[in-house]
Amino acid sequence: MNTSALLATGKLCPQGAHPVGRPLENRGQSAGRGGTMTLMALALGSFVIGTSEFASMGIIQLFAGDLGLSIPQATSAITAYAFGVVIGAPLVTLAAARLNRRKLLLWLMALFLVGNLASALVDSLGALIAARFIGGLPQGAYFGAGAVVAAHVTGPGRAGRAFAIVMTGLTVATIVGSPLATFMGQTLGWRETYGAVALLAGLSIAAIWHWVPNTEALDGVPVYQELSALRRPAVWGVMLVAAVGVGSIFAVYTFIGPIVTDAASLPATVIPLALGVFGIGMTTGNLLGGRIADRYPARGITLGYGGALAVMAVLATHGTDPRLLFPALFGVGAAMMLAIPTIQVRLTRFAPEAPSLAGAMNLAALNAANALGAWSGGLSISAGFGLLSAVWAGFCLTFAGLTLFGLTLLSHRRTPGVS
């Protein structure tokens, strides 16, 4: 979703390929007020998207009861959103490949608004599933286009930090947006929650319209140019490392509530605090990871995955102790998010002529990690190994991801021009 420093010089473009839009030498803006406000507008959009995604988990009991559904039935609406993200990431990005990135962002947020407004008006499970699917379709493409815009306004050498700022909106949603949306659902109603998200989407559209530069430098590229990314084994390798390794963050996050109340024997009122601590860790790691991604080609993944393994070992063995539970939750969130900007920068380094699709596929990989982490944690708990076994399931995923990453590094060293 970003353009690396070497991309800005054109050195990483494969023979015969051309960077997106106008010549990159003329693309970067100075990091002045305009560029900062552009990044804030993009972050607002990611905050709204994250709030919608995570709030659904907090109000699932509310819309289940109102629509006469069981919790397993209601979960299908959440799954539909994730499915929309995974399907929409490549398809929407390719369908809109020639569209200017500013226009694309506006259309994507408009589609997101429609999906959430429809979610507030449905009267059946089928309609809710359709509405949530529509709401999920723009997410991957939004982050892909947003990363291109962020790299444009920050200029060469700062793509990792630019992407981290855009992603900060998503991580802050876990701290502020989701709890507030859940509280609104509990006090006013779940329909009002989705209505409020739609209203925020309207504000995001206004911010993008006002602050994202209207320039030909953000023009799209031919579909075949975006598709070229999918022909690169290195791109698929990075996506596999992300889909497997990042699964641990969701293996832990999905079961924070039961871990707090049943494993640590704390009251349910502590769950929002635990979620907030985890979210603060995610935000901290994301911002630090952006700086690391701009300076080192691989260190963010090795430090992030390695650190997460160490913290998860503590959480899995001492998670019943509140004195260690909360620092460990912070550590898991921080360590895993440390790796995300590096994953994105590596994707765009291996497919510099297709930054939008690379960014969208990154989000698709992370949503695959979401499903894989939650599934593996649930499978471990269902097998009777206890709540903290979900953490061990996440540990295994991250260990596998780190191993895969090591193998890809060895493979790249044998391939001239790839690092």
Residue 350 covered by a domain: yes
> What pLDDT is recorded for position 74?
77
Residue 143 covered by a domain: yes
Residue 79 covered by a domain: yes
> What pLDDT is recorded for position 418?
53
Residue 240: give its domain's CATH number. 1.20.1250.20
Domain count, the chain: 1
Residue 313 covered by a domain: yes
Evaluate the CA torsion angle 377, 138, 274, 336 in order and state its sign.
positive
Given a cut of 70, the residues of the chain with pLDDT beneath it are 1-34, 71-72, 156-157, 159, 229, 355, 412-419
Q: How far apart (Å, rounded) are the C-alpha atoms in residues 59 and 62?
A: 5
Residue 419 covered by a domain: no
List Cβ neighbours of 337 (8 Å cut-off, separation of 6 or more): 167, 171, 249, 281, 282, 283, 284, 285, 286, 289, 304
CB 318 within 8 A of CB 328: yes
> What pLDDT is recorded for position 386?
86
Residue 346 covered by a domain: yes
pTM metric for this prediction: 0.74
Report how far Cα 287 is from the mean position of its chain's Cα atoms: 14
State which residues form the domain around 368: 5-413
> What pLDDT is recorded for position 185?
84
Phi, psi dihedrals of residue 236, rounded to the nearest 5°: -65, -35
Mean pLDDT, all residues of the chain: 81
Q: How far apart (Å, rounded) are the C-alpha atoms in residues 93 and 356?
A: 7
Phi, psi dihedrals of residue 76, rounded to the nearest 5°: -65, -25
